[in-house]
Amino acid sequence: MNSISQQLFTRAQQSIPGGVNSPVRAFKSVGGTPVFIKKAKGAYLYDADGNRYIDYIASWGPMILGHAHEPVVQAICEKAVDSTSFGAPTELEIDMAELIISMAPNVDLIRMVSSGTEACMSALRLARGYTGRNKFIKFEGCYHGHADPFLVKAGSGLATLQIQTVPGVSAGVSNDTLTCAYNDLEAVQQLVAEHKDQIAAIIIEPVAGNMGCILPKAGFIEGLRAICDREGIVFIFDEVMTGFRLAPGGAQQTLGIAADLVTYGKVIGGGMPVGAFGGKKQIMERIAPLGNVYQAGTLSGNPIAMIAGYTTLKELKDNPSIYTDLAEKTAYLHEGLDRVLTTSGIPYTINRLGSMISVHFSDQPVTDFASAASANNALFNRFFHAMLKRGIYLPPSPFESWFLNQALTLSDLDATIEAARESLGEIGG
């Protein structure tokens, strides 16, 4: 007898490409049937068959406070009765902008959009408009959403599905995308020298989350900052994953390095479709209607999205201990996984910062896309299914960070570590 998830997946494939509205959800690389979710509360997801899972995806990042967090749900319900969209300015948008500016360093002006993709796409256009240059540098395995210029050597779903070049992205567009390995400062120096005065921007996930979690080596981001300063290049931090997750001021605060432009998504919307890009006044002033770099959106600053985001950010700002709690929980999980992985004898590397963590089955340090890709990812796929069977919902790909949420308890973490011990025993080495 097929499970309800299996029945729904069969039905979904008749009307939705691949049965999903975003490729990373399809379980294509790990195999099997995606679990169809019915509801979630706190740290738990419940599927259509009534199974409960401890959630380490957090909707790919946004649900830092846990699912259906009471104050967020209540704020959305109260707001919705006043209509769900106006397409005109509201006071709430000012509150949101002021709150973001009070939390995020180096953000003088902020423009709201509806996704991380839109944020990155708009920030790149702005950097090009501001500098009058076309080329930009991105890093192999980083993912900045699915706008055309970024779909070169991208992480996340493209790495998972092994899509190297994307039909539909013209050579004219991708020729302006220059790529380097993450953590390879020398390669960036060389590329910048080869393309003197042609590079508008360097965009980076300051802590990468789209090839698993990968940390910048000491001096790497500082080195990029120095190159940008010297060469008049706009330094863009893609903080779609790290923004409001690593700290109230995101990776800029955690690493102590200033960006010229910053993009946000995920946590900023508290589970609603929200993105934003912001930064230095002299750059942001080039955006229409102040300047002529055009960018717009019917649902930008949508009241329901804003109230969900505002309520989430305000709670994070007012309770900074949430960040220490989350980091402690993640360290606890890390220690437990270390224990059971060491006992299993399976080679592994765990990368972690704040509430981002991931496991690669590799005996080498994982510092860039090549080292992430050369791990035993077939073993990861089996680990994923063994964990899922035991009620632990991990990202269905080694090329994604795990995200912890504040609703997780120590007993959830212990259950996860025990499930990992059993799973490793099941899958062997």
Query: From CA 241, how far away is CA 210, in angstroms rounded?
Result: 9
Q: How far is CA 149 from CA 11, 134, 146, 173, 409, in A?
A: 34, 11, 8, 6, 41
Before 71, cis peptide (omega within 30)? no
Helices (H), 232-320: 250-255, 281-284, 303-318
Annotation marks residue 238 as catalytic: yes
Residue from 2, 22, 84, 190 that binds ligand HOZ (CB under 6 A)?
22
- For ligand HOZ, which is the closer residue by CB, 120 or 137? 120
Annotation marks residue 143 as catalytic: yes
Count of residues touching ligand HOZ (by CB under 6 A) = 8
Residue from 56, 130, 143, 402 that binds ligand HOZ (CB under 6 A)?
143
Residue from 60, 182, 383, 384 that binds ligand HOZ (CB under 6 A)?
60
Query: From CA 414, how far away is CA 391, in angstroms rounded?
Result: 13
- For ligand HOZ, which is the closer residue by CB, 156 or 377? 156
Angle between helices 303-318 and 70-80 (to 10 degrees): 150
Q: Is 16 in the site for ligand HOZ (CB under 6 A)?
A: no
Site string for ligand HOZ, 355-394 (x = CB under 6 A): ----------------------------------------
- For ligand HOZ, which is the closer residue by CB, 97 or 123? 123
Q: Is 24 in the site for ligand HOZ (CB under 6 A)?
A: yes
Q: Is 156 in the site for ligand HOZ (CB under 6 A)?
A: yes
- For ligand HOZ, which is the closer residue by CB, 115 or 177? 115
How many CB atoms within 10 Å of residue 411? 9
Strand order in the sheet with 109-113: 109-113, 275-279, 261-264, 234-238, 199-204, 135-139, 177-180
Q: Is 55 in the site for ligand HOZ (CB under 6 A)?
A: no
Task: Write down the least CB distance from residue 12 to ligand HOZ, Å.
Answer: 15
Annotation marks residue 229 as catalytic: no
Q: Looking at 114-193, which runs of residues are DSSP E strands? A: 135-139, 177-180
Query: From CA 289, how far away is CA 346, in angstroms rounded?
Result: 57
Catalytic residue among 44, 53, 56, 143: 143
Q: How far is CA 359 from CA 133, 209, 279, in A?
A: 39, 12, 33
- For ligand HOZ, which is the closer residue by CB, 42 or 157? 157
Q: By the criterion CB under 6 A, which residues form the site for ligand HOZ?
A: 22, 24, 60, 143, 156-157, 210, 400
Catalytic residue ranges = 143, 238, 266
